[in-house]
C-alpha cells in the first residue's frame, strides 16, 4: 500500500497568504467605506443627480433657502434638480438677484426690487415725448370757463378761474390776454387757437353783464399771469349773471 505524506506550508508561504488576505480585505473596505467629504462636485457627472434618485424629503425648503442665502456652489447645484425641486420653496430675499439659470418661475417674486434714489427720475430720463412741467414752443393748451351767479344789484361782481396744468415758460403779459366777443380777433384766429404767446378767451354766452375782464392768477387785472387766469364780471342789473367761454394759449 502506498503511503501518503503531508507537507506543511512553509513559513514564507504563510506570510504570503496572510498578505494576500489583508490586501483583498483592504480593497473591499475601501470600496464600501468612503472617507467623509471625499465626494464633491468634481466627482459627480453632469446630470447624475436626478429627481428619481433623490430620497423623499431629501431636498427641503429650509435647505434650499440656506443654499441660496449662502450664495455658494450649492446654488449652482440646485439647477440640476429640475423645476419641481424648487416649487415648494418660500420667497427668500437675495440681495444679489436670482442665480444665473435658476429654474424657470420657481423663484418668482422672491427678490425685492431695488429702490429708486431721490432725483433718479428726471425729465431727461423719461422716454421721448413724455410730458414735462412746462409747455414746449408751439404747443397749445385749451379749456372752458364759466362764471355764474346772482347779482343783488347793478355793479355786483363775480369771479371764476382756471389753472394751467402745463405751465407757460413765462408769464403772459396783460396785453397778450384777449377777450374775443365774436368768432375771431387779432392774434385769435378761432376757437381753440391762439397766436404764439397769446391767451385768447372766446365768449360763448353772456347774460346780464356790463363788463367782463380777464384777471391774473393773483386776482388783479394788470399783473402778468403764469399759473392760470380768471374771469371777472360786473352785473348790469339785479338777477342772474352768466358768462361762458372757451380759451386757448400757445407757447411762443
Domain ranges of the chain: 48-100, 140-250
Q: Which residues pair with 235 in a beta bridge?
A: 209
Q: What is the pLDDT of residue 99?
A: 47
Identify the burial level of 102 via C-beta atoms within 10 angstroms of its C-beta, where 0-12 means exposed, 13-18 middle and 19 or more buried: buried
Q: What is the pLDDT of residue 205?
A: 96
Q: Write out residues in the chain with pLDDT < 50, as ranges.
A: 27-31, 72-95, 97-113
Q: What is the pLDDT of residue 103?
A: 42
Q: What is the pLDDT of residue 111?
A: 39
Local structure of residue 112 (DSSP, 8 states): P
Q: What is the pLDDT of residue 217?
A: 84
Contacts of 115 (CB under 8 A, 6+ apart): none
Taking the C-alpha atoms of residue 74 and residue 79, their distance in angstroms, rounded to an integer, is 9
43-93 confidence digits (pLDDT tens): 667 777 777 777 777 767 677 666 656 654 444 444 444 444 444 344 444
Question: Which CA distances in Å does 126 have to 19, 110, 135, 144, 165?
Answer: 83, 28, 16, 30, 19
Q: What is the pLDDT of residue 11?
A: 66
Amino acid at each position: 500500500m502506498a503511503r501518503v505524506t503531508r507537507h506543511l506550508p512553509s513559513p514564507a508561504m504563510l506570510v504570503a497568504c496572510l498578505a494576500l488576505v489583508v490586501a483583498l480585505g483592504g480593497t473591499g473596505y475601501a470600496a464600501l467605506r468612503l472617507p467623509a467629504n471625499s465626494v464633491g462636485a468634481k466627482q459627480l457627472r453632469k446630470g447624475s443627480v436626478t429627481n428619481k434618485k433623490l430620497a423623499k424629503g431629501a431636498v427641503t425648503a429650509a435647505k434650499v433657502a440656506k443654499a441660496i442665502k449662502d450664495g455658494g456652489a450649492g446654488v449652482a447645484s440646485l439647477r440640476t434638480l429640475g423645476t419641481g425641486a424648487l416649487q415648494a420653496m418660500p420667497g427668500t430675499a437675495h440681495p444679489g438677484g436670482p442665480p444665473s439659470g435658476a429654474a424657470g418661475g420657481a423663484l418668482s417674486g422672491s427678490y425685492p426690487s431695488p429702490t429708486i434714489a431721490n432725483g433718479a427720475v428726471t425729465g431727461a430720463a423719461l422716454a421721448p415725448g413724455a410730458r414735462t412741467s412746462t409747455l414746449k414752443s408751439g404747443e397749445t393748451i385749451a379749456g372752458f370757463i364759466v362764471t355764474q351767479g346772482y347779482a343783488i344789484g347793478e355793479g355786483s361782481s363775480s369771479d371764476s378761474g382756471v389753472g394751467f396744468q402745463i405751465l407757460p415758460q413765462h408769464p403772459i403779459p396783460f396785453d397778450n390776454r384777449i377777450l374775443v366777443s365774436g368768432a375771431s380777433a387779432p392774434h385769435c384766429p378761432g376757437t381753440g387757437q391762439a397766436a404764439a404767446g397769446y391767451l385768447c378767451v372766446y365768449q360763448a354766452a353772456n347774460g346780464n353783464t356790463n363788463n367782463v375782464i380777464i384777471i391774473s392768477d393773483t386776482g388783479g387785472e394788470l399783473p402778468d399771469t403764469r399759473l392760470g387766469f380768471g374771469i371777472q364780471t360786473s352785473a348790469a342789473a339785479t338777477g342772474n349773471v352768466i358768462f361762458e367761454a372757451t380759451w386757448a394759449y400757445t407757447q411762443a
